[in-house]
Amino acid sequence: MTDETLGALHHVELWVPHLGRAKDEWGWLLACLGYQPYQGWPDGCSWRRGTTYIVVEESPALSSRTHDRTAPGLNHLAFNAGTRQQVDALAAAAVGRGWRELFPEKYPHAGGPDHFAAYLVNSDGFEAELIATD
């Protein structure tokens, strides 16, 4: 018998410059993608879907208050986001929730002609890619 969880992503922890803003922006997006609130503590919180969870934390050990997705480190998180219609709807709704579209002139094929996805960036510069799975 094979352990299907072996090697699967367990969690991602994002250190953010403003916890309240991260809760609003990431919380909305993750809820739309089926994540549920999981943990909370004074400097952070998390959302879980299945065995994977995503943490946002305003750590007192932050060395900077700015995230640069083009610097070494995390560039983006990519999520399966349903049908093309669901990606379209989610991308449109995200704009009013602290997210803006990256590469709007290339939407929905900024990742190539055979890749249907929305690329979003939030107020703190974190990028999320929403991929159509149909």
With respect to residue 67, please indicate whether it lies within any of the assigned structural domains: yes
With respect to residue 2, please indicate whether it lies within any of the assigned structural domains: no
How many domains does one find in the chain?
A: 1
d(CA 70, CA 87): 24
Tell me the pTM. 0.93
With respect to residue 3, please indicate whether it lies within any of the assigned structural domains: no
Cβ atoms of 97 and 29 within 8 Å: the answer is: yes
pLDDT score of 24 more than 80: yes
With respect to residue 117, please indicate whether it lies within any of the assigned structural domains: yes
pLDDT (tens digit per residue) in 71-84: 999 999 999 999 99
d(CA 127, CA 26): 11
With respect to residue 38, please indicate whether it lies within any of the assigned structural domains: yes
With respect to residue 51, please indicate whether it lies within any of the assigned structural domains: yes
